[in-house]
Amino acid sequence: MSCRSRPERWLRILLLAGGVLVAPAAWAAPRVILPFVADTWREFSLSARRPMVVVFSTTDCTHCPAVIDNLAATIRASHSSLRLVVVVMDGAGQEQALRGDSHYRKANALYAFDGDALALRFRVNPDWRGVTPYVALIPVVGATHFYAGAPPRDSLQALLRIPSGH
Residues that bind other proteins (CB under 8 A): 2, 7, 10-11, 14-15, 18-19, 22, 24-25, 28-36, 58-64, 90-99, 101, 108-109, 111-119, 122, 126-127, 129-134, 148-150
Q: How far is the CB of 162 from other proteins (least distance, A)?
A: 21
Q: Measured between alpha carbons, how far is 10 from 4 in angstroms, rounded to an integer? A: 10
144 closest CA partner among 61, 46, 77: 46
Residue with Cβ nearer other proteins (127 or 154): 127
Residue with Cβ nearer other proteins (21 or 161): 21
Q: How far is the CB of 165 from other proteins (least distance, A)?
A: 18
Q: In this structure, are residues 51 and 137 in contact, taking their beta carbons and an 8 Å threshold?
A: yes
Q: How far is the CB of 25 from other proteins (least distance, A)?
A: 8
Residue with Cβ nearer other proteins (83 or 159): 83
| Long-range CB contacts for residues 59-64, cutoff 8 Å, separation at least 24 | 59/88, 59/90, 59/91, 59/94, 59/97, 60/90, 61/132, 61/133, 63/132, 63/133, 63/149, 64/103, 64/132, 64/133
Q: How far is the CB of 140 from other proteins (least distance, A)?
A: 19
